[in-house]
């Protein structure tokens, strides 16, 4: 018996394999689609997500980089008498006189008046600051409370001592009833004597 015949006989001895019949489709019904997205739909969703992220980041960067601008007052208007851009009250007029008395002592005097009428403002809350021009914020003093001079309505004064010889920026600020601010430069040259 040959090898080929042995193989045939062993194959004939095995029971035939059971065939499973294929399910029959009902006429007019489409076959079920597999679950999940097709590659085209996956690309469409991914492209939409990337586009929205890019647009959102451009908007956020634009919001952070740009600064709001305040509209400038029209030419020819008095900025002290006209209300500010946010409806602020008019500012008081301040005239500063700063005098070096010697030994680094400085007398600050300010005349505070109402805008437009220039009537003196009495019982105001007035403070002063001194700051060395050559070294800003290193020798800053203030707030120095200024008192109203008796017999001189609207005139406020204060005495202070600066740190060293040099040029100083004297700032006077009214806090109430009208907020305002003015500056004056003062040169303190000698430690003793008048400058």
**pLDDT tens for each residue of 29-63:** 666 666 777 888 889 999 999 999 999 999 999 88
Percent of the chain, pLDDT > 70?
A: 68
DSSP state of 81: T
Helix ranges restricted to H, 14-123: 39-65
Single out the residue of 101, 99, 103, 79 nearest to residue 91, CA to CA.
79
Single out the residue of 189, 182, 194, 177 nearest to residue 129, CA to CA.
182
What value does the mean pLDDT take over residues 107-127? 86
Question: Over 50: is that where the pLDDT of 76 sits?
Answer: no
> Looking at residue 174, what is its pLDDT?
87
> Looking at residue 55, what is its pLDDT?
94
The Cα 21–Cα 105 span in angstroms is 113
pLDDT band at 82 (very low <50, low <70, confident <90, very high): very low
> Looking at residue 80, what is its pLDDT?
44
> Looking at residue 139, what is its pLDDT?
75
Count other Cβ atoms within 10 Å, centred on residue 179.
14
3-state secondary structure of 154: coil
| Cβ burial 35-51 (10 Å sphere, 16+ → b, else e) | eeeeeeeeeeeeeeeee
> Looking at residue 166, what is its pLDDT?
85
pTM over 0.75? The answer is no
Cis check: omega of the bond before 33, within 30 degrees of 0: no
Q: Position of tokens 């709001």?
A: 68
Average predicted confidence (pLDDT) for the chain: 77
Strands (E), 21-124: 93-102, 105-113
Question: Over 90: is that where the pLDDT of 132 sits?
Answer: no
What value does the mean pLDDT take over residues 151-160? 89
What value does the mean pLDDT take over residues 109-116? 86
Question: Over 80: is that where the pLDDT of 110 sits?
Answer: yes
């Amino acid at each position: 018996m040959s090898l080929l015949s042995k193989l045939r006989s062993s194959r004939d001895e095995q029971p035939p394999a059971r065939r499973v019949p294929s399910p029959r489709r009902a006429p007019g019904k489409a076959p079920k689609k597999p679950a999940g997205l097709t590659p085209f739909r996956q690309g469409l969703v991914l492209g939409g997500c990337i586009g929205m992220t890019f647009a959102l980041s451009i908007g956020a960067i634009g919001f952070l980089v740009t600064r709001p601008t305040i509209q400038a007052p029209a030419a020819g208007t008095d900025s002290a008498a006209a209300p500010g851009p946010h409806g602020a009250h008019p500012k008081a007029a301040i005239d500063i006189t700063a005098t070096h008395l010697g030994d680094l002592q400085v007398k600050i005097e300010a005349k505070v008046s109402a805008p437009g009428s220039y009537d003196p403002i009495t019982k105001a809350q007035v403070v002063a600051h001194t700051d060395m021009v050559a070294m800003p914020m290193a020798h800053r003093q203030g707030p120095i409370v200024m008192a109203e001079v008796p017999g001189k309505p609207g005139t406020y004064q204060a005495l202070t001592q600066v740190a060293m010889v040099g040029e100083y920026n004297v700032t006077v600020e009214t806090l109430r009833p009208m907020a305002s601010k003015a500056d004056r430069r003062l040169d303190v040259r000698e430690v003793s004597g008048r400058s």
